[in-house]
Amino acid sequence: EDQVTQSPEALRLQEGESSSLNCSYTVSGLRGLFWYRQDPGKGPEFLFTLYSAGEEKEKERLKATLTKKESFLHITAPKPEDSATYLCAVNSGNTPLVFGKGTRLSVIA
């Protein structure tokens, strides 16, 4: 059974204080690992898909990396508008997506 564990559950950063979010996964035959951002009262917003170990993708202050067991979402010099819940999900076989519980990020000005 596919499993996704995200840590920490919550993270509080000062503006400009870089950090990383972790997503550990167990899956039989990874087809893709996805990162989403979810703001309160809204649906998840797609950020990245990673397909194989060693792959990296960047978007503005965010950079996602992937190994065979985990993925990291690095946030460089975050701003208050980066405050959100970040969700990690994996896709294997016929199951569309299996999600972790998310990391709730707060960036304080």
Partner 1 sequence: SAVISQKPSRDICQRGTSLTIQCQVDSQVTMMFWYRQQPGQSLTLIATANQGSEATYESGFVIDKFPISRPNLTFSTLTVSNMSPEDSSIYLCSVRDSGEGYTFGSGTRLTVV
Q: Which is nearer to partner 1, 57 or 74 (CB)?
A: 57
Does 78 bind partner 1 (CB under 8 A)? Our answer is: no
Site residue total, partner 1 (CB under 8 A): 21
Cβ 42 to partner 1, closest distance in Å? Answer: 6
Instruction: Name the segment binding partner 1 (CB under 8 A); options: 16-24, 63-71, 72-80, 97-105.
Output: 97-105
Q: Which is nearer to partner 1, 18 or 106 (CB)?
A: 106
- Alpha-carbon distance of 92 to 60, in angstroms, equals 28
Residues 4 to 63: which contact partner 1 by CB under 8 A? 4, 32, 34, 36, 41-46, 49
